[in-house]
Structure 1
Amino acid sequence: SRYRQVLALLVILISGRIIRAWHQGGVNWTQLPDISKWLEQGGSRWIKAIKVLSGILITSLSLFAFSTSRLNRCFILVVQLFFLLSGCLVLQHAIKYQDNNFLASGGGATFIAQIIYAVLGIATCFVAVASPWMFPIYIHVNSSSNGQSPASQIAKNQMVHLLGGLKESSYLTGWAYMLSWSLLQLLLQQPINSMPILLLLLQTSASVIYFLNDGVARKTCVEVAALYFIGMAGHFGLGNTNTLATIDVAGAFIGISSHSTLLSGILMFCITYASPMLVLLSLVMYISIKDESHSRSNKTTNIGLLLKAVLAIPLLVPLCINSVLLIAYTIVLLQMRNHLFIWSVFSPKYLYVCATTVCVYIGVCIVAATEVYIYLVCSFRSRRLLSEPL
C-alpha cells in the first residue's frame, strides 16, 4: 500500500509537470520554447513515434485495468477484445494517414474513423449496460447471528451485495469511460497532443488510486475538487487558451463523410473539453473505491438513502464550483457591459465558461445515470433472488 501510494504520487507530480511544459500557455508567453515546439522542429517522425507509443500504452493499460476486475472472465475477455481492436484501429489510422494529408481526407481514412467511433461506442455501452448483470449475488442467512431476525439479516446482506455490485460495476464502467474517451482523443486531437492525453489518463487514474491508499481521513469534497482542478489544468495543457483562435477545427471533420454542422460541432466540443470530460467520467471509478455509503450500510436498508450517499458529493462539487465561476463572470459582464473592451476581450472567456458549464452538466448526467442504472439492476437482481424459494 505504501509503495502504491508513493508511486501514484510520483506519477501525479511528473505527469502534471510534463503537461505543464508541453504547451506554453498565455498569450504573452507563446514565443517561449516548450516541448511541443521542440518536437515540431525535430520533424514529423518524432511526433508519429510518440503518438504510436501513446496508443500502445493506452491499449496496454486498458487490457491490464480490465484484467483486475473480478467479474465474469468471459465478459472481461470480450471487453478486452473490444478495446484491443479499438486501439489497433487508432494505431492503424495514425500510421497510415498522419503524414499524408491527401489520404487523410479520403474515403479510407473516413471509413476507419467511423469504424473506430462504432467500436468505441459499442464497447462502452456494452460495459455500462452489461456489467451490473455480471456480478454474482448471493443471499444467505446466518443462524448464529446476534439475535437478529432472518428478515433483517437478509435485508442487511442485500445491502452488502448491492454495495459490492455497485463497486465492481462502477470500477469497470469507469475504466471503460476513461479509456474509450482517451482512445477517441488520440484519433481527434492534433498528433502533438497524443502524449498529454496519455499523461492526463495516468494522472487522473493515479489520483484516484492515491486517494484510496493514502489512509488520510480527507473529506470527499476536497478530493473531488482536486480532480476537477486537474481536469481544468489539463485543459490548458492541451494547448487551449481563453481565445477562440486556439480551437482545433481540423479534428472536427475526422470521420465525417459529408458536411454536418451538428456533428462537427459535437466533435469540436469533444476536442476542446477533452480533459475536463475525462476527469468527470473518472468520477464513476472514484465512486467505486471511495464509497461513502459503507458507513451507512449498517444503519439503513433504504436503497434511496444509499444512492444519495454515493452520488451527492461527487456530483454537487463540480456543479457548485462551476456555478460560482459562472455567476461571478456573469456579474462582471453585466457590471462592465458598457466598457470598450468587455465584448471583444472578456466575452471569449465568458463563452468558454458557458461551454464549460455544458461540459460539467453532461459529465454529471452521465455519472448520475450510470450509478442509478447500476443500483436499479443490482436491486432488481437481489429482490428477484429473494423471491425465489430457498
Structure 2
Amino acid sequence: MMFVLHRVLREWNRTGDKWAHLPDVGDWIRQPEQSIVLTASLLVCCIIQVWLRVPDVMMVFGLVCGTLYHVSTNDYFAWFAYFFMLTKIAGLRPKFGPDEWTCLRDAFNLLTLIISRSYNIPALTLVQLLEYQLRKVSRRSKLPLLSIIFLYYLHASSTFFLLGNSNAISSIDVSAGFAAVPFYFAPLHGFLILAHTYAGPIFWMASLAQVVGSMLDNRSLLLTVTMLLLIDGVFLLITLTNVTLQRRHLFIWTVFAPKVLYKCVGSWLVSFSVMVALKTTLI
C-alpha cells in the first residue's frame, strides 16, 4: 500500500530539471475540462480526511468548510475553517502530550487544506494516508526508535518535492499567503507562505512528535531530539560541503544557492520544532 501511495505521489507533481517538462497528474486535473473530476476528487479527499478524524467533531466541520471553500471559491467557508482551526488550537494545554500533538497536527492539516491549490489537495490526502500506513507498520513491526526517526525524516524531506516544490525560488506559491485573507499584514502572509512551502516537512515532524510522545518517557524524548538534530545536521553538512566544492560552478546562484536557502530554512524549522517539543513536554 505504501509503495502504491509513493508511486501516485511521484506522478502527481514532477519537479526537477529532468522531469519538469513531463506531464503529470496535477497538470491534467487542473485543466478546465477536468473540473468535474477535480470536484469529485475533492469530495473523496474530504471523506477520507473525515474518516481519519471521525471522533473530532470540530475538525470534521473545519474539513468540510475547507473543502467547500475550494469547491465554491467562497471566502466565507474559509473563514469558518479558520475559526474552527483557531478554536482547536486555543483549547491546547500548556503541557503537551500525544493528544495535544495530534490536535496541533490536525489543525495544521486544516490550515494547509485552506491555503493549498485545489489540484494539490489529493496529494496532501495521500501524504496523510501514507503517514497513517507508516504508523501502523511501525507499531506492528515494533521498529527501533532510530528507524522510526529516520523514516519520518526521509518522508519529510521527500514530501517537500512531492507536493510540487523544487530547488528553484520561483516554485514558491506567493498566492498561498493571501488565501481568504481580506487585509494586508506582512507577518501573517509570510507565515502562510512558509506554512504552504514546508507543509510536508512540518506535517511529518508533528506526526513524529505525536508517535514518539505516545510511546516514550522524557529521557527517551531527549534521545529522540538528539538523533533528529544529528541526522538533520549531517544532511545540512553534506549540502554545504557540496556547495563549497561547486562554488565556481556556472549555476552557483541559480541552482546551488537556492538549495542552501531551502535547506537552512528546513533545518531551522526542525530546530524550532525540537525546542517547542522540549519546552512543552518537559515543563
TM score, norm. by length of structure 2: 0.90
**CA deviation after TM superposition for structure 1 residue 289, in Å:** 4.1
Q: Secondary structure at the match of 1:129?
A: coil
The corresponding residue for 2:150 is 225
CA distance in 1, matches of 2:243, 2:7: 33
Residue 196 of structure 2 is aligned to residue 238 of structure 1: no
Q: Secondary structure at the match of 2:166?
A: coil
The corresponding residue for 2:282 is 372
The corresponding residue for 2:60 is 84
Cα-to-partner distance string for 1:281-302 (whole Å, 9 max, x where unaligned): 01232124432x4xxxxxxxxx
The corresponding residue for 2:37 is 46
Q: Identify if the C-alpha distance between structure 1 residues 316 and 255 changes in structure 2 by more than 3 Å, giving closer, same or farther.
A: farther
Cα-to-partner distance string for 1:265-294 (whole Å, 9 max, x where unaligned): 110110010111001001232124432x4x
Q: Identify if the C-alpha distance between structure 1 residues 324 and 207 changes in structure 2 by more than 3 Å, giving closer, same or farther.
A: same
The corresponding residue for 1:314 is 224
Number of positions where the alignment pairs a residue of Structure 1 with one of Structure 2 = 282
The corresponding residue for 1:29 is 19
Q: CA RMSD in A?
A: 2.2
Which of the numbers 237, 252, 261 marks the counterpart of 1:351?
261
TM score, norm. by length of structure 1: 0.67
* Contact 2:102/2:210, CA 8 A, preserved across alignment: yes
CA distance in 1, matches of 2:175, 2:258: 20
CA distance in 1, matches of 2:169, 2:34: 27
- The structure with the largest alpha-carbon Rg is 1
Cα-to-partner distance string for 1:155-191 (whole Å, 9 max, x where unaligned): xxxxxxxxxxxxxx73322332232222221111111
Cα-to-partner distance string for 1:10-57 (whole Å, 9 max, x where unaligned): 2x2222221111112222222223222332345222222212221232
Which of the numbers 185, 197, 202 marks the counterpart of 2:112?
185
**CA deviation after TM superposition for structure 1 residue 112, in Å:** 4.0
Cα-to-partner distance string for 1:195-242 (whole Å, 9 max, x where unaligned): 111111111122122111114xx4311211111111211111111111
CA distance in 2, matches of 1:323, 1:277: 17
The corresponding residue for 2:270 is 360
The corresponding residue for 2:126 is 199
**CA deviation after TM superposition for structure 1 residue 339, in Å:** 4.3
CA distance in 1, matches of 2:126, 2:207: 14
What code does the residue aligned with 1:363 have? Answer: S
CA distance in 2, matches of 1:336, 1:27: 18
- Higher mean displacement: 205-214 or 281-290: 281-290
What code does the residue aligned with 2:150 have? Answer: A
What code does the residue aligned with 1:178 have? Answer: R
* Contact 2:168/2:254, CA 8 A, preserved across alignment: no
The corresponding residue for 2:50 is 59
- Higher mean displacement: 339-348 or 278-287: 339-348
Q: Which runs of 5+ in 2 are unaligned?
A: none
